[in-house]
Structure 1
Amino acid sequence: MTRLIKNLLALLVLAVGVVWSLQGAGVVQGSFMTGQSQWLYAGIVTALVGLAGLAWANRSRQ
């Protein structure tokens, strides 16, 4: 996989995690996920996976 595709996938996972976290925290309204703490925690974990994916995609190769 190219670096661009890896970065795009990692950013997508990160964005999904942020949205889930905001919905779980009640910041984003209009969903069955709004105000549900399990979505806050799932979003945090998903966002961390996205950040790890970005770090992995951009690591230097020697």
Structure 2
Amino acid sequence: MAIKRLGGLKEGQRPWSVKVCNDCLTTWNRDVSAANVIRVLLLLKLMGFERPTKLQRPPWPPAVAGPG
């Protein structure tokens, strides 16, 4: 699957903000995807569910590797 930018870049636009697949013409907008994830997290929180494992933050401080 080859992915390219959608159209030319405008002043201040990041090259990865919108992508399109050359094979199936699916378009991804990074900001829309992030907004959808935030919405799902809010709905899960309001319904009393935990964050999905893939969307949990790693423990802090990070584990320190011991000698050896």
Q: TM (normalized to structure 2)?
A: 0.35
Q: TM (normalized to structure 1)?
A: 0.38
Structure with the higher fraction of residues in helix conformation: 1
More relative contact order, 1 or 2 (CA 8 Å, 6+ apart): 1
